[in-house]
A and B are shown apart, each in its own frame.
Chain A
Amino acid sequence: GAGVSQSPRYKVTKRGQDVALRCDPISGHVSLYWYRQALGQGPEFLTYFNYEAQQDKSGLPNDRFSAERPEGSISTLTIQRTEQRDSAMYRCASSQGVENTDTQYFGPGTRLTVL
């Protein structure tokens, strides 16, 4: 398909386990963003990349969270030693360019549940 894809769509894990969430952006899109959305709230920024360079990671809650985009395409968000408070919908978006006029296109999200 031509849209942003994310996998897995649903992830249930036990507290203390590590999880890796994958995002495959629209082909050729320069920028890739990660957001987290709690129930009943709007998405909140975590981190973003232009090409393979991580531009801003100020939204990552703590050092258990990390992200990479080594070849400027697919990105992985990793959460180490998961905690129940990490349960949320994790959304990925990509945009063609780096201007604020560029539309961000969102994937379907990964619903993470930490037991």
Chain B
Amino acid sequence: GDSVTQMEGPVTLSEEAFLTINCTYTATGYPSLFWYVQYPGEGLQLLLKATKADDKGSNKGFEATYRKETTSFHLEKGSVQVSDSAVYFCALNSGNTPLVFGKGTRLSVIA
């Protein structure tokens, strides 16, 4: 079945550091790929998405590129801020199906 594997956290970075959170997937067909973020005390919010190979999703300085050849959708940000501290979830959707999520990666950014 479909699955998502993302790097385990927690990840602790200093402000303005470069962020990469790895995500790889296994899916039938051509899934859409998503990154969701959960800030402390809040619900899940869509951060960005990509719906076909080589698409790049971007939002709030975060980027991720849909790489079909490596089945990856790594999340990157060039300069993190304290306000980026949250749990990040990679997810996929293969069709008229529910999302399949990774286990989440907790990011802590310290000033």
Contact: B43 with A99, CB < 8 Å? no
Contact: A104 with B99, CB < 8 Å? yes
Contact: B46 with A109, CB < 8 Å? no
Which residue from chain B places its CB closest to the CB of A97 in the assembled complex?
A: B96
Assign chain B's interface to a size class.
20 to 34
Contacts of B93 in A (CB 8 A): 100-101, 104
Contacts of A42 in B (CB 8 A): 4, 89, 91, 101-104
> What is the bound-complex CA distance between A48 and B94, given in angstroms?
15
Contact: B89 with A100, CB < 8 Å? no
The reply to whether the CB of A72 lies closer than 8 angstroms to some CB of chain B is: no
Contacts of B36 in A (CB 8 A): 106
The reply to whether the CB of A16 lies closer than 8 angstroms to some CB of chain B is: no
> What is the bound-complex CA distance between A12 and B98, given in angstroms?
28
Contacts of B44 in A (CB 8 A): 43, 91, 93, 106
The reply to whether the CB of B51 lies closer than 8 angstroms to some CB of chain A is: yes
The reply to whether the CB of B100 lies closer than 8 angstroms to some CB of chain A is: yes
Given contacts A106-B43, A108-B42, contact A33 B89 (CB under 8 A): no
Given contacts A91-B43, A107-B43, contact A45 B102 (CB under 8 A): no
Q: List residues of A whose CB falls within 8 A of some B CB.
A: 31, 33, 35, 40-45, 48, 50, 55-56, 59, 91, 93, 98-101, 103-109
